[in-house]
Amino acid sequence: MAGVKHQAFYSCTRIDPHEIYRFIRRHYPEVTWLFPKMTFWDGIRKNSPPLRRLRWCCDVLKKNPSKHIPMKHRVMGIRKEESRSRAEKPRVDVLRGKQVQYKPIFDWKEWHVWEFIDHFSLPYPSIYDEGFERIGCVICPFIMHRNHAKLIRHQKRWPAMYKVFESVITDWFLHHNKKKHLYSEKTPEEYLAAYYSGFEHPKSHHAPQIKIVK
């Protein structure tokens, strides 16, 4: 709309909502899709399931796919309202001394975004109309919490992905964690219950139970 020449990229994690894939293909076919060299599932088998403070997934799935692109300027839709860590970073930043990162809606509130969308009748993913306030990876350590409402909503909306996740976790637990004894849980089911409850570190204990997708 501003007339600034640009190229749009989308880092496809392969664990995003499939509704997002359809939306981008339909409304923004000019977007260049980027894919990680390693899948989320292979990353779990090779490393471990990501935790809030021990995350490898953001770098591997979202950031690394664009590292080979020689961009001097990057524009992102990050807003400081979204998290404390984002609010602490500058609106214009220089990454690795080479790339300038701009955040044009950094100071916008959520209502500013929706007002802009409504004013210009812009399309948006219909999943927002289903009660999902933030759209990111379907499986993410940030939605795991003792208050299971958000997790249960994700499990019901994308059950197939959680079935794969639990299968991969079981395989990892039995063949990798069992040898190193990183966690106090004795079975994959115990570990999944602890994981879904949002524990932060290895050696977790007695997490509340939650329904496991079978």
Instruction: Specify the higher pLDDT residue, 136 or 31.
Output: 31
User: Total domain count for the chain?
Assistant: 1
Q: pLDDT tens-digit profile of 116-153?
A: 999 999 999 999 999 888 888 999 998 998 778 889 99
In a domain, 60, yes or no: no
pLDDT at 206: 41
**Does residue 107 lie in a domain region?**
no
Q: Name the residue range of residue 182's domain.
A: 144-214
Q: Is 122 inside a domain boundary?
A: no
Assess if residue 84 is contained within a domain.
no
Q: What is the Rg, in whole angstroms, of the alpha carbon atoms belonging to the chain? A: 19
User: What pLDDT does 214 receive?
Assistant: 43
Closest CA to 44 of 204, 169, 175: 169
Residue 112 near residue 105 (C-beta atoms within 8 A): yes
Does residue 132 fall inside a structural domain? no
Q: How confident is the model at residue 48 (pLDDT cuts 50, 70, 90)?
A: confident
Give the pLDDT of residue 145: 83
